[in-house]
Amino acid sequence: MNVPIKTPDEIEKMREAGRQAASVLEMITPFVKAGITTGEIDRRCHAYIVDELGSTPAPLNYHGFPKSVCTSINHVVCHGIPDDGKSLKKGDIMNLDITVKTADGYHGDSSVMFVIGETIQGERLCRVTQECLYRSIALVRPGVRLSTLARAIQGHAEASGYSVVRDFCGHGIGAGFHEEPQVLHYDGYAPEADIELAAGMCFTIEPMINVGDSRTKVLRDGWTAITKDRSLSAQWEHTLLVTETGVEVLTARHDEDLSFLER
């Protein structure tokens, strides 16, 4: 496997791409409330990425994806397509996944969960899924194997009574949207795929965690992935840089508490 190591110049461009993706999530957050349609979320993000950031929404036309962001509500695991007929209602949970491609040609990819109104089950699932992401990020440093990250995610999800989606994974990222390596969120690595991290690698971790069983299916639109048993699903994603001493969260938001990384 040939995992790209970024040069200092590329790392600067990745930092900018990560900041931009985070800024889209910060911009849209106040609008994500009961009543807004996922179509409107898409349009606002598209306009901000193009007009304010001078960048491109990477999902648009990516292998034919029709919109600029992914909006995945409740039992939708990932790749939900924004739609003017689909409005958020109380009790919903939604993943919003943003990927920006900068004018320099580098990608920043990040997603968060929104809880609309109150849902005890939804809130617990979203919290545990974020903990899965954070526990794995905390382990990132040169020499650590991908399987170590995967076991941290799977261990916490399953100890919480949930399952880890196997059909989608994280990925290397840079000038390419999806580069090597594949970043599994469960321990399914073949020995040759279980690479050691090295300084200068950039990749995403983006666990998808289900209340019910782990199986998914893709709807006839060719994109929307749902849980087979229609149980709730959550996902959080960051783009990371492996540094000499640990990790930099390239898509960190200003209000995000990453103090767990201080060690």
111 forms bridges with which residues in the sheet? 97, 237
Residues 187-226 that bind Co ion (CB under 5 A): 204
Considering only 206, 207, 234, 247, the residue that binds ligand MF3 (CB under 6 A) is 206
**SS3 of 178, please?**
coil
Instruction: Return the one option of Co ion, ligand MF3, none that residue 62 interacts with (CB less than 5 to 8 A, by type).
Output: ligand MF3
Q: Does 99 bind ligand MF3 (CB under 6 A)?
A: yes
CA 56 to chain centre: 18
* Residues whose CB is less than 8 angstroms from the CB of residue 210 and which lie 6 or more positions away in sequence, other chains included: 77, 162, 163, 164, 165, 227, 231, 232, 233
Considering only 21, 22, 70, 226, the residue that binds ligand MF3 (CB under 6 A) is 70
Nearest approach, Cβ of residue 206 and ligand MF3 (Å): 5
Give the residue from 126, 107, 105 showing the smallest Cα distance to 115.
126
Q: Does 179 bind ligand MF3 (CB under 6 A)?
A: no
Question: Helices 146-159 and 120-137 meet at what angle, rounded to 10?
Answer: 160
Instruction: Return the one option of ligand MF3, Co ion, none that residue 127 interacts with (CB less than 5 to 8 A, by type).
Output: none
Q: Does 179 bind Co ion (CB under 5 A)?
A: no
Considering only 97, 131, 179, 248, the residue that binds ligand MF3 (CB under 6 A) is 97
Whole-angstrom distance, CA of residue 185 vs CA of residue 11 = 25
Residues that bind ligand MF3 (CB under 6 A): 59, 62-63, 65, 70, 79, 97, 99, 109, 206, 223, 237
